[in-house]
Structure 1
Amino acid sequence: MTNASLPFNASQQQLALLRLVNWGLKIGLILFATDLFGLTTPPVTLSYVLIFEACYVGFSYRFHRLSMNNNGLLFLTLLLDTLFWAAWLYFTGGATNAFVSLLLLPIAISAITLPRWAPWCLTIVSTIFYTLMIVDITEQNSGSVMDHDMSQMPINHVMQANQAMAANHVMPASHSMDMGSHYLGMWFNFVISALVLTVTVGFIAKRIRQKNAELRYLREAQLRQEKILALGTVSAQMAHQLATPLATLRLLTDELVDTHHDAEQMELISEMQQALNRCEVTLANLRLATESIREHKLTEQRVDKLVATLTEQISLLMPEAQLNIALAPQVESRIVMTDMSLLPALMALIQNGIQASEDNQHQTRVDINIGLSQPNQLSMTIRDYGVGIATHLLQTLGSNMVKSPKGMGIAVLLSHTSFERLGGKLYLKPHSECGTEAIVTLPLSV
């Protein structure tokens, strides 16, 4: 039962030990406490049932890990536990057995560990068995009251018994009627107990699962924020250290422009200047983004303006990119709250898509579809034409840093954090044909 969704994280080994204890309890009650608790002397048939149950208990203890993450198999084992308890109760007294409440044990376990359908199914099964035992004991009593060996009594005793009942206005079936009411009360008590376990315990277990999921999410978010803080600290230090070398390189390139006039050299110098411009723009944006994040500055921006700025930046920094942007008309004039971190986060995803498409198809094609996923939620789908991302990495990317020779894990992690800070989300999923889709959702102003 070591399923991540189980609230108490109970192990299958503990459940197997509980089955062993239950089996030992049945044997002990038959051997040493039959008269003490008024149990019926069991027939030989029960011995075969207990032998079969012993094999089942040994098998479940030996292979307890088989149903560790399988709700269906776990439900099947609890159903077998219910059947074994019902058989033991039937052969040792039926509905009058003092231990009939142990039929509720599998219901309680399923209410804690399994989805909501499982305890309801076990409740129905247990109620059916208990109802059959009630019917059986009622028929036995009703058949024995009317002729309580009166045929073997002397005739004068029979006449005296009839005269006594007539004098006291007691019907012969009154005792049977009283016991019938008692059995009906026992049945209602069992049903109510089973329903309380199914509804109440199931509801409490559901709330505990939700709390555990929330705590798990908060722990993951805290770890992610700690990693982001470490990355941000290192980035700020590196940016500060890069400022002086970039300024020196700018002076050197300006001097080269003044001293060299050869066409080939001027072309190389021009490329150097473009690279320096890109570094300077990136460094300036990093400073602005740091200031914006520190002061929690949010600005309103139209979606079409955001797309235009994004396209301009991609054309400037990645001129080789082949972008196919589809902007839905109903979102062009909508307003989204942004800061200086939104644009770099989107550009990082697009850059990853361009690189993936180029590695797979030797073309820098990326499709961007922008529309509404909900009335007040913007959806941006960035699709590349790469080989795709491994399924086991899709659950990790954006939440943790993943080893990658191109650093895509860090880029996606930073982008995901930026979107979350703005109230958005990032989802990654494989495309049906090829490549990967990065779906970004952002809230829109009403």
Structure 2
Amino acid sequence: MKTARNQPRPRPLRWLPAQWPADAAGRRNMALLVQLRWLAIAGQVATILLTHFAMGITLPLGSMLVVPCIAALMNVGSLMILRRRTDITHAELFLALLFDVLALTTQLYLSGGATNPFLSLYLVQVALGAVLLHRWSVWGIVAVSTACAAILAFVHRPLYLSGALEGHLFDLHIVGTWVCLTMVAVLLVLFMTPINRNIQERESHLARLRQQAAEEEHIVRMGLLASGAAHELGTPLAQLAVVLGDWRHMPQIAGNPALIEEVEEMEAAVRRCKSILTGVLMSAGEARGEAPEVTDVRHFIERIAQDWRAANPGMPLRCDFGPHDYPRIIADPVIRQAVTNLLDNAREAGATYVNMMVSRDSQWLHITVRDNGRGFSPDMLADVGKPYRSSKGRQGGGLGLFLVFNVARKLGGRVDASNGADGGAMVQLRLPFATLALEEDKDGA
């Protein structure tokens, strides 16, 4: 167990989501090529031995068996690379397919050249290249394949048939063509389907990244606008506070208890406005890292609840921490703002009471806000967390949950929204202790 030092230095928050998957479509496609090469190796060895020993067709066994051995070494090297890497480059996929084309060319050269019915296996490499490679690379595979096929028509080691097979070369060619066609069809179905799925997953991943980038740009603009407005409002609020202080000492007001009470109420309102502006600036990042708050979860949540009750008198808010022990955390202002947004959303949705339930397991802190309001509509649940998607029906609504979702995502957590069985809405904010905790403990839920 790691313990906190006397003067703990806050760890920087993780501003890249820990749950983002690696863009490993190239790695998965290379793994499929390795599987295809293993099948090719097994098929080549079986075909060579069957043709030479069972059919009595003389083949250069030594030379032809060297090719699958080299392919096996290629596969071993590819697997070692796959274990160390999270993705494979386009150039590496191109070289892998080019190796398979040259290996097939070598085998065809040693077994009849263009007269070998397995010449059609070039189409498998071309089809794989059309799916996996860029345009120039695909045409490179096409050019190499057609050039090799053309060369094999003139340069090859001829097959010699003897005994019962003598004079039946055409019949053997027809049977071999059927076998090759069946192999090509089966291989294309077996391998093109998962390759297409890998490509679709990659495109979906890139689309999610683009969406997140657009949302984060939107948040940056909102933060700049809020920060600018906070700075602009700070000066008139300060002047108003000075004026109210002067009023308090004026004889006309000092001798009138009713006016004194009104001045005190206005001063309290000014202090409240200053506190809100300070929170806006901190949430915008201007105060981040300057004075980090090291506290425990219970105290942090209770203070949020206390401030919210003070700002919303008459609205019941119950906090339930359950039978858990909580570690000390570095409480970032954006977490406070996210929890406050959840509470504000519950109030604005027509709730007459709000429950905030806090729990934990070995890795996550769970903060759940439950209310008895209108709940989420089916359309809202489908788009929950997107900007300007709100059930309140007012212009500019829907930013509260949008900010909560993005705060959770940036801290490596997640947000789940649902409706309660007896009505109302329930939103759970999950944050990882790996990001928040000042010290790691081994206690579970």
TM-score calculated relative to the size of structure 2: 0.53
Change beyond 3 A, Cα 1:293–1:268: closer
One of 394, 404, 413 as aligned partner of 1:405: 394
Q: How far off its partner does 1:248 sit?
A: 2.0
> Structure 1 unaligned runs (5+)?
1-6, 8-100, 102-107, 113-168
One of 197, 204, 217 as aligned partner of 1:213: 204
My pick for the range that moved more, 319-328 or 378-387, is 319-328
SS of equivalent residue, structure 1 residue 329: coil
Q: How far off its partner does 1:415 sit?
A: 2.4
Change beyond 3 A, Cα 1:333–1:186: same
Give the aligned partner of residue 438 of structure 1.
Answer: 427
Change beyond 3 A, Cα 1:296–1:219: farther
CA RMSD across the alignment? 3.7
* Deviation per residue, 1:173-193 (Å, 9 max, x gap): xx9xx989986x777656644
The residue identity in structure 2 corresponding to 1:227 is H
Q: How far off its partner does 1:219 sit?
A: 0.9
Give the aligned partner of residue 381 of structure 1.
Answer: 368
One of 351, 355, 360 as aligned partner of 1:367: 355
1:270 equivalent to 2:264? Answer: yes
Give the aligned partner of residue 392 of structure 1.
Answer: 379
Equivalences for residues 17-416 of structure 1 within 5 A: 189=180, 192-258=183-249, 259-291=253-285, 301-330=295-324, 332-358=325-351, 363=352, 365-372=353-360, 375-402=362-389, 404-405=393-394, 407-416=396-405
SS of equivalent residue, structure 2 residue 427: strand
- Write 1 or 2 for the structure with the bigger share of helix: 1
- Aligned equivalents of 1:393, 1:291: Cα separation in 2: 29
Q: Is the 8 A contact 1:326 1:370 kept in 2?
A: yes
Q: How far off its partner does 1:337 sit?
A: 4.4
- State the identity as a percent: 21
- Aligned equivalents of 1:380, 1:273: Cα separation in 2: 34
- Aligned equivalents of 1:179, 1:215: Cα separation in 2: 52
Change beyond 3 A, Cα 1:432–1:252: same
My pick for the range that moved more, 273-282 or 418-427, is 418-427
Q: Is the 8 A contact 2:288 2:332 kept in 1?
A: no
Q: Is the 8 A contact 1:379 1:440 kept in 2?
A: yes
The residue identity in structure 1 corresponding to 2:403 is L
Q: How many residues align?
A: 275
SS of equivalent residue, structure 2 residue 333: coil
- Aligned equivalents of 1:249, 1:299: Cα separation in 2: 30
SS of equivalent residue, structure 1 residue 229: helix
Q: How far off its partner does 1:302 sit?
A: 2.4
> Structure 2 unaligned runs (5+)?
1-24, 26-119, 121-126, 132-162, 435-439, 441-445
* Deviation per residue, 1:140-163 (Å, 9 max, x gap): xxxxxxxxxxxxxxxxxxxxxxxx
TM-score calculated relative to the size of structure 1: 0.53
* Deviation per residue, 1:208-237 (Å, 9 max, x gap): 122112111111111111111111111111
Change beyond 3 A, Cα 1:329–1:180: farther
Q: Looking at both structures, which has the greater relative contact order when contacts are Cα pairs under 8 Å and sequence separation is at least 6?
A: 2
The residue identity in structure 2 corresponding to 1:417 is N
- Aligned equivalents of 2:329, 2:185: Cα separation in 1: 52
- Aligned equivalents of 2:291, 2:394: Cα separation in 1: 34
Larger Rg: 1
Give the aligned partner of residue 113 of structure 2.
Answer: none
